[in-house]
Amino acid sequence: MENTGLSKIVALAKRRGFIYPGSEIYGGVANTYDYGPVGTELLRNIRSLWWETFVHRRDDIVGLEGSLISHQEIWKASGHVGGFADALVDCKNCKLRKRADHLIEESLSGDKEIKVEGLSDEELDKIISEKKILCPNCEKHDWTNVRKFNLLFPVHLGIVEGDQSLAYLRGETAQGMFVNFKNVMESNRVRLPFGIAQLGKSFRNEITPGNSVFRTLEFEQGEIEFFFDPETTNWEELYEDWKTKMREFITKTIGIKDENLRWREHSDEERSFYSKRTEDLEYKFPFGFKELWGLAYRTNYDLSQHEKGSGKDLKVVDSQTGKKTLPHVIEPAVGINRIFLMAMSDAYEETETRTVLKLSPKLAPFKASVFPLLANKPELMEKAQEVYRDLSQSFYISFDARGNIGKRYLAQDEIGTPYCITVDFDTLESDTVTVRDRDTMEQVRMKISELRNFLAQKLI
């Protein structure tokens, strides 16, 4: 799909209530978005499937919900205060601010020799200068020097005086799992190897390249920190097992086309110094292959940093042998909003007659929609509402009596509803309805009494 595909998806997302620009009636806030009624349902379905797969269906992972605001020392110990920064440049002419790596990548996309991962500020400056890269806004070459800009959002607590009033909105969910590691060990019946999972918001004050909800100031993460003793667990086998599980979740659970996925290993320059191995599962978005889900073997760096920063012993003691271990960790971390955008991109299909989102029924905001054939016939409306009320006890479905039935089908196709159920005059005689399949547009006649089982089988 060309990048024009993204503009079509964005237009559909607003038109049908998936995503709205943040603070729109006040002129908007860049890189913020609100999720509308059907977008909220799609997000909830993604979250539920992730949690069900990686927490409820496993006996070696437990959940956590950490605070959004946390002590400044956490972020000093983790390295975020000192090293969590983007390299930015400003156009002196029009004041456009850009991430230096994004500016270079966008301007020199055809130059396969240019690699920006791991480059210093001076090296980025040199490329911008030597290649005479122009401002995409005013087309001038008049840039400031590259400089670092910290991505954390500071928060000043009004109830505390002085330096201690400074806290931060979390820049990732991972640190909450590290600082609560000992709490989880002591309050739950868990033993190594085991994982802690968290779903929740993180905040990064960064310049983004647009691309809808792919990268935003406020975003949702699904992260797991899987702790283990490297002397008794082979990290390479564990790592490969996580790669398999991640890809299976995307293809089998979420229903994404496997040919649109690939693994990309981080180079030595790009990989964090404490990581022994990092790979990204990338998806082919309308704007190219980009990171969807990261997998990193972080050794015991994080727990060791928090031991030093807090002065607390975070080691695990084997009750049988007395051996003390500071666990290592493998971290699969995915952006829930990126799964959302991926799902819409992968499902989007446009023909001469309609636009349809062929979402997996597990993801679809509504599992079915019930129509009366004619809205001005009381007997049809009453019967359709009866069918709706019955099915809505088991499934999240919608009721639609607006406009003609052809327009109702097209509207449901655009929000990805798998089945449309029409109550017509034959229904009043035979207690049967017409069930239309979203993907094939085929219609079959079915007894009302069979609808519940039919939907249950299709939604497994």
Q: pLDDT value at position 291?
A: 96
What would the pLDDT profile of 60-73 be if each residue is shown by its tens digit? 999 999 999 999 99
Spatial strand order in the sheet of 61-64:
61-64, 194-203, 218-228, 328-335, 288-299, 277-285, 261-265
Which pairing describes strands 194-203 and 166-169: parallel, antiparallel, or unpaired? unpaired
| pLDDT(285) > 70 | yes
Categorize the per-residue pLDDT at 321 as very low, low, confident or very high, splitting at 50, 70 and 90. Answer: confident
Helix (H, G, I), strand (E, B) or coil at 438: coil
pLDDT range class, residue 10, cuts 50, 70, 90: very high
Residues 6+ apart with CB under 8 A from 147: 87, 88, 89, 121
Q: Name, in order, each residue with C-beta under 8 angstroms of 346's C-beta and a sequence gap of 6 or more.
A: 256, 257, 260, 283
The answer on pLDDT for 3 being more than 70 is no
Distance of CA 410 to the CA centre of its chain: 27
- Per-chain mean pLDDT for the chain: 93
Listing DSSP states for 327-352 in one string gives -EEEEEEEEHHHHHHHHHHHHEEE-S
| E-assigned strand segments in 30-187 | 33-35, 61-64, 69-71, 85-90, 97-99, 147-150, 153-156, 166-169
For 125-177, how does the pLDDT look when each residue is reduced to its tens digit (9 = 90+)?
999 999 999 999 999 999 999 998 888 999 998 876 666 789 999 999 999 99
Q: Exposed (0-12), middle (13-18) or buried (19+): which is 97, by Cβ within 10 Å?
A: exposed
Q: Look at residue 109 and tell me whether its pLDDT is greater than 60.
A: yes
Q: What is the per-residue pLDDT across 114-127, written as a single tens digit (0 to 9) for each?
A: 778 778 889 999 99
Q: What is the pLDDT of residues 194-212, one digit of tens each?
A: 999 999 999 998 876 678 9
Cα(364)–Cα(38) distance, rounded to whole angstroms? Answer: 9
Based on its alpha-carbon atoms, the radius of gyration of the chain, rounded to whole angstroms, reads 26
Q: Does the pLDDT of residue 260 top 90, yes or no? A: yes
Domain ranges of the chain: 4-78+153-348, 85-150, 366-458
Phi, psi of 113 (to 5 degrees): -80, -20
Phi, psi of 382 (to 5 degrees): -65, -45
| Spatial CA neighbour of 120 closest among 144, 143, 100 | 100
Say whether 16 sits in a helix, a strand or coil. Answer: coil
- Do 135 and 107 meet the contact criterion of CB atoms below 8 Å apart? no
Please give the Cα distance from 446 to 455 (Å, whole number).
12
CATH architecture of 85-150: 2-Layer Sandwich (3.30)
The rounded distance, in Å, linking the Cα atoms of 341 and 215 is 10
DSSP codes of every residue in 154-200 = EEE-TTS-GGGGEEEE-S-SHHHHHHTHHHHHHHS---SSEEEEEEE
Give, as one character, the DSSP assignment of residue 60. Answer: S
Mean pLDDT of 6-33: 94
Contact 458, 440 (CB under 8 A): no
DSSP code, position 46: H
List, for residues 209-251, the tens digit of each pLDDT value: 678 999 999 999 999 999 999 999 999 999 999 999 999 999 9
Beta bridge partners of 434: 422, 445
Tokens representing 282 are 């990338």
Q: How far apart are CA 88 and CA 99, in angstroms?
A: 4
CB 174 within 8 A of CB 202: no
Write down the pLDDT at residue 108. Answer: 86
- Select the CATH number that applies to the domain covering 4-78+153-348 from these four: 3.60.21.10, 3.30.930.10, 3.40.190.10, 1.10.3720.10: 3.30.930.10
Beta bridge partners of 76: none
Structural contact between residues 253 and 222, judged by C-beta atoms closer than 8 angstroms:
no
Domain at 366-458: CATH code: 3.40.50.800
If DSSP codes are grouped into helix, strand and coil, which group holds residue 269? coil
C-beta contacts of 137-141 below 8 A and 24+ residues apart: 137/91, 137/94, 137/96, 138/91, 138/93, 138/94, 138/96, 140/91, 140/93, 140/94
Q: Is the pLDDT of residue 372 over 60?
A: yes
Give the predicted TM-score (pTM) of the model: 0.90
Q: Are 307 and 326 in contact (CB under 8 A)?
A: yes
